[in-house]
Amino acid sequence: MRSDPGRGPAPPAAGYEAPGSCVLESYGPVPPDTVVSIDGPAGSGKSTTARALAERLGLLYVDSGAMYRALTWAAADAGVDPADEPGLLSLLDAAELTLKSSRGETEVFWGGRDISAAVRTPEVEARVSAVSAHAAVRERMVARQRALGRRQGVVMEGRDIGTVVFPLASAKIYLDATLEARAERRLRQHRRRGLSVDRGEVLREVEARDRRDSERAASPLRIPPDAMVIDNSTLTLDDQLEATEAAVRRLLAYRLPPTGHLEGELSLRYRIAFAVFGSVGRFTGLRVVGREHANLHGCILAPNHVSSWDPLILGAALAGKNHIRSIAKEELFRLPPSALLYRFLYAIPIKRNIYDTAAFDQAAQVLSEGQNLLFFPEGMRRVYGEPGPVRNGLGLIMQRTGAPCVPIYLRGTLSPQPGGGPRAPLEVSFAPAIRLHALPVLGRRLEPRAISREIGRLFEAIYRELQERSADRHPFTDWELEARERVRAGILRKESRTFHNRRPL
């Protein structure tokens, strides 16, 4: 695993052995890099489902909860209090945590010692939520989990796999069941292991853990907006597996890469603009990753917003593909040079801080004509490059138009110059489009604004994922690391015009 200068020494990698997978011929293969996330509350049947699904699809099975359980056990063994974050971190850094996936339960090893049975005791269950609530602990666990998913296809189960660990998972499932059904399952599990426990006690324990897991500040248990929810309270195991596999395959089909190529005429203005933008791209040595994801008509292009150069750099990354009609704050249409550029490219002015119906009508029209729409979902620049909260406008446009939306991560656009400038390398990376019809959140009878908030959270997680992937290619610069620390410490919250002029930071 790569050493990340922002997080101290690299954690020891968790080892995995591939399960003795048997791919049933009738099911057909899935791409080997497929990542399936299965989230849900305690006792919702995640482990049984995830393991069986991994076998059916020929993917690796990973039980992320076992990692938190292992640390909880180690803390108890070493006399470290679950509230002692530094103590937990040093335990985690000192020992090697290995999971092995066998046909039965996940086998867990801590520093070579087999603790598979020890991590399933009620004592560990009672403390694991407290241990897993620490943001710093989660950050290290998540780094290990991501490293596994980047090496090969996985089915990973947990609480935050679809929301935080793999926001771009190929297919997401959220398993649920009534509290009573889940407590009954836990009771049977404990009894199978020879533990004598009281039914009422197990019910209270499951209820308490639900509360702790979903109310904690760091990555609480939430339903990802693009997850299929399966309530298995009354399903037999076979029926549930069938339902889950069918849902996964449907979601995989939604995620197929775009086919065909773009036709259509570029207007003269766009041909001129793209010629200019293209030469800016060549001059700056702009790196572009995953551009094929934007080979779409009528899609929303949704980058994080760093600087006024962003539309130009994005134009350089996409030169020649399609009209990019930008939505921009109306102030930019008043004075040159921005007014000239935005008017030249038929950009759409928008009034900020109100729901500007006319602008949204025009955006919908542009999309229905098959042109692409550039929209900055954060609604403001964040010059230090740390993605910020996504506003509701994005989800509202997606719901209104049904258009697919391509998340894009811009890096280093504050100072676009050859080699990326001293602050950050210059890169544009594209993620696969998020398609509204593949967002089961629509079926959850939420208000449009609540759906927009869910969509916004998904995009925030995707920006962070794209940011990390970018840092894997080109490590964070000192400037970026310092900005990151300051953002996290709450020193830098909003757009700062002075920040990049100060030297040293």
What does the binding site for ligand DC look like in residue numbers (CB under 6 A)?
42, 64-65, 68-69, 128-129, 132, 158-161, 209, 213
- Give the nearer residue to ligand DC in terms of CB position, either 65 or 153: 65
- Tell the residue number behind the tokens 């310092």, with chain if given: 482
**Residue 119 or residue 373: which is nearer to ligand DC going by CB?**
119
Compute the distance between CA of residue 360 and CA of residue 278 in angstroms, rounded to an integer.
Answer: 29
Cβ 196 to ligand DC shortest distance, Å: 20
DSSP string of 21-79, one letter each residue: ----GGG----TT-EEEEE-STTSSHHHHHHHHHHHHT-EEEEHHHHHHHHHHHHHHHT
Q: Give me the least distance between CB of 414 and ligand DC, in Å please.
A: 34
Q: Which is nearer to ligand DC, 160 or 356 (CB)?
A: 160
> C-beta of 52: minimal distance to ligand DC in Å?
16
The backbone torsions φ and ψ at residue 406, rounded to the nearest 5 degrees and listed phi first, read -100, 115
Nearest-angstrom CA–CA distance, 138 and 133: 7
CB of 4 to ligand DC, least distance (A): 20
Q: How far apart are CA 5 and CA 17, in angstroms?
A: 29
Neighbours of 67 (CB within 10 A): 25
Instruction: Tell me the backbone φ, ψ of residue 179, rounded to 5 degrees.
Output: -55, -45
Q: How far is the CB of 160 from ligand DC (least distance, A)?
A: 5
CB of 67 to ligand DC, least distance (A): 7
Of residues 185, 160, 248, 299, the one with CA closest to residue 440: 248
CB 149 → ligand DC: shortest distance, Å? Answer: 12
Taking Cα atoms as reference points, which of 423, 421, 418 lies closest to residue 282?
Answer: 418
Residues 6+ apart with CB under 8 A from 173: 36, 37, 38, 39, 49, 162, 227, 228, 230, 244, 247, 248
* Nearest approach, Cβ of residue 321 and ligand DC (Å): 38
* Per-residue 3-state assignment (H helix, E strand, C coil) for 250-304: HHHHHCCCCCCCCCCCCCHHHHHHHHHHHHHHHHHCCEEECHHHHCCCCCEEEEC
Shorter beta-carbon distance to ligand DC: residue 214 or 267: 214
Q: Closer CB to ligand DC, residue 49 or residue 401? A: 49
Q: State which residue, 48 or 399, has the beta carbon closest to ligand DC.
A: 48
Helix axes 64-78, 135-151, angle to 10 degrees: 140
CB of 108 to ligand DC, least distance (A): 10
Q: How far is the CB of 159 from ligand DC (least distance, A)?
A: 4
Looking at the Cβ atoms of 159 and 323, the one nearer to ligand DC is: 159
Q: Are 157 and 15 in contact (CB under 8 A)?
A: no
Closer of 35 and 341 to ligand DC (Cβ): 35
Task: Output the CA–CA distances (angstroms, integers) from residue 383 to 18, 136, 483, in the order listed.
Answer: 43, 25, 10
Q: Which residue lies nearer to ligand DC by CB, 468 or 495?
A: 468
CA end-to-end distance (rounded Å), the chain: 29
Please give the distance of CA 336 from its chain centroid, rounded to a whole number: 38
In whole angstroms, how far apart are CA 213 and each of 36, 118, 162, 202, 218?
Answer: 21, 21, 15, 16, 9
Q: Is the dihedral of CA 192, 196, 199, 200 positive or negative?
A: negative
Minimum gap (Å) between residue 302 Cβ and ligand DC: 27
Paired tokens of 288: 């572009």
Pick the closer one to ligand DC by CB: 132 or 304: 132
Instruction: Return d(Cα 233, Cα 301) in angstroms, integer.
Output: 40
Query: Alpha helix locations (H) across 101-134?
Result: 122-132
**Closest CB to ligand DC among residues 40, 420:** 40
